[in-house]
Amino acid sequence: MCGIVGYIGTKEASGILLEGLRKLEYRGYDSAGIATVLEGEIHCVRAKGKLHNLEEKLVGETNPARLGIAHTRWATHGKPEEYNAHPHMDMAKRIAVIQNGIIENYRELREELKSRGCEFRSDTDTEVIPHLIAEELSKAEQVAEEPLIEAVRQVVRKLRGAFAIAVICADYPDELIVARQQAPVVLGFGEGEFYCASDTPALIPYTRAILNLENGELARMTPLGVEIYSFGGQRLKKAPRTLDVNPVMVEKQGFKHYMLKEIYEQPGVVRSCLEAYVNSAWTSADHKNSPIRFDLPQSWYRNLQHVQIVACGTSWHAGLVGKYLLEQLADVPTTIHYASEFRYAPAPLVPHTLTIGVTQSGETADTLAALEMEKARRDNKSEEFEARLLGITNRPESSLGQLVSNIIDTHAGIEIGVAATKTFVAQLMAFYALAIDIAFHRQTIAAQQIEALLTGLSQLPAQIELILESQERYIEELAHDFAETQDFIFLGRGINFPIALEGALKLKEISYIHAEGYPAGEMKHGPIALLDAKVPVVAIAMPGPVFEKVLSNAQEARARDARLIGVTPMDEQDAADTFDTLIPVPHIDEILSPILTVIPLQLLAYHIAARRGLDVDQPRNLAKSVTVE
């Protein structure tokens, strides 16, 4: 959480920095601030709330500075007030620092600094950093050739936690220092100008030549180039790579919100996943080669006894669908864990286990920590217990990509809306392909069944298009009825239970309406007490083994006066008789249905939130990338 951006070069820094913040605002929007080096002084402006408040403060200001840093905050330590906004400065206001992450030992550092006469102006953990740098700088100036980076290097070695920082100093107007420890930061390379940012969208308008700083590394950026060092002080040789992204992908392209645009991108995302994952020439006569091009180590398929999935939020819901697929198609016992729980209470080691971390951003602190912990506890164990780690992510270049050597890229393109939509559908596609791949190697399902699944998957893009074309208007109208609703229940069973959870999460996070997802059969064990005419119930009812059961569960809700909305195939008479309102989806094999049933739920959440006049893309209290515990 929090977005950092920095610039050094030949152009006016402030415009580039503000544009960068615009692209990073999805990471947090409690406050924003900018600091530049101008005429030998640090010029710092900060504002509480969203970026436009900072922009308003800067209206009419001309600032020719060529060096600067800027920050958009998701508050951890200290309220979202201007005095807690970054950049933070040392006492003499010569050094300015921005940080993304948490400095875990800030209390003791703060006390030490105070005992040496330091006065603090904020409640943040970050403020210790400029004060410490000021102390170290006066020492480094006596001994070091490059005092500023040396001072920062000394300080980062004292910090505990996960952080990415950028530092400028009025006395070094040609230097921007950046450091990374467990929080993302990417460097951008231009002609005589250089950038740093928490994420690539801030850099894409200016350069495609990028370099991900790794944990324990510092960069000294000057108009002449970039030098990389380890925290130990060793100079490292690294070259930038070219990022393959189309700038159009990070614009709204005429949609009112990124979220709606991203919902509409889903047919294309499914097509991209199919192209990347499936060998279209495969037929059921081919018993030798998998229809899926994942290229996982062959040894992983042998003796596979257990899959464990770690993830958070929407990615956890995708993992829950994955569990169902891996068990039902590939016959592998699969467990799923909230990464935040798993990292402190891991399940006992099972031999021949595949561990899958699912994270669209590849930066979620808990998921990364759970995987690191799993790697560490399997280290030096016998072959049967060795770590087999697989990442499913939309950002292969992320920290996850650095941690795990086998990655499934979900090919969804950058997602800006804080509520995950297209990346969820892409994660589901990854799990379908993985389950088919493992099922093929373990021969747990017939080749004809694999062929049928692949045919079904190939029809999904057109079916999603049909839902979008035929239902969006209708769902927009329907949303009017719920603008004042306070509680919602979502029901599903089997493979659509995770979709009920996802529908509830989408509604909660962007409309602030209380919503719960339940396995439909569990309602009568307690939650049914919540129901009355004021609580709408959305039930996902797809023909299959539990179709009639879901309809019966829906009837039980109806008997308590709840308004019933059914996500169900067109022309299902029993469903039409059960529900007050129908949101039809195409007929499809139940096992493939989550990719269709989630679409109306995304649209419903979107239109209810939009109807309530809320900030759909940047809901309160949230950030897209949760890089702190």
List of residues contacting ligand M6R (CB under 6 A) = 312-315, 359-361, 364, 367, 418-420, 509, 622, 626
Name the residues annotated as catalytic: 2, 624
In angstroms, give the least distance from the CB of 423 to ligand M6R: 7
Could you give phi then psi for residue 85, rounded to 5 degrees?
Answer: -70, 150
Task: In angstroms, give the least distance from the CB of 379 to ligand M6R.
Answer: 24
Q: How far apart are CA 334 and CA 323, in angstroms?
A: 5
By beta-carbon proximity to ligand M6R, the closer residue of 333 and 396 is 396
What is the distance between the alpha carbons of residues 21 and 71, in angstroms, rounded to a whole number? Answer: 7
SS (H, E, C) 468-534: HHHHHHHHHHHHHCCCCCCEEEEEECHHHHHHHHHHHHHHHHHHCCEEEEEEHHHHHHCHHHHCCCC
Rounded to 5°, the CA angle 98-100-104 comes to 105
Q: Which is nearer to ligand M6R, 421 or 578 (CB)?
A: 421
Closest separation between CB of residue 322 and ligand M6R, Å? Answer: 13
Per-residue CA distances from 420 to 170, 417, 488, 490 (Å): 41, 7, 20, 18
In the complex with ligand M6R, the residue whose CB is nearer, 84 or 367, is 367
Q: What share of the chain is helix, strand, coil (3-state, %, to 5)?
A: 40, 20, 35
Helical axes 422-442 vs 594-611, angle rounded to 10°: 170
> Which of 127/617 has CB closer to ligand M6R?
617
Nearer to ligand M6R, 560 or 612 (CB): 612
CB of 180 to ligand M6R, least distance (A): 18
The smaller minimum CB distance to ligand M6R, of residues 316 and 518, is found at: 316
Q: How far is the CB of 318 from ligand M6R (least distance, A)?
A: 8
Nearest to 73 by CA among 619, 628, 623: 623
Question: What is the distance between the alpha carbons of residues 530 and 520, in angstroms, rounded to a whole number?
Answer: 14
Residue nearest ligand M6R, CB atom distance:
313
Q: How far is the CB of 446 from ligand M6R (least distance, A)?
A: 34
Contact 307, 326 (CB under 8 A): yes
- The contacts of residue 513 (CB under 8 Å, 6+ apart) are 482, 485, 486, 487, 488, 507, 608
Q: CA 329 to CA 443: how far, in whole Å?
A: 10
Region of residue 227 (phi > 0: left; psi between -120 and 50: alpha; otherwise: beta): beta
Shortest distance, position 393 Cβ to ligand M6R, whole Å: 8
Q: Which is nearer to ligand M6R, 156 or 507 (CB)?
A: 507
Triad 195, 262, 492: Cα angle to 5°: 130
Phi, psi torsion values for 31, nearest 5 degrees = -165, 165
Q: Which residue lies nearer to ligand M6R by CB, 36 or 398? A: 398
Sheet containing strand 388-393, strands side by side: 334-338, 306-311, 353-358, 388-393, 406-409
**What type of residue is 135?**
E
Give min distance, CB of 119 to ligand M6R, in A.
37
**Structure-derived torsion over alpha carbons of residues 196, 80, 29, 339, reported in degrees to the nearest 10:** 80
If one counts every other C-beta atom within 10 angstroms of the C-beta of residue 570, the result is 13
Query: Cis (ω within 30 of 0) for the bond into 87?
Result: yes
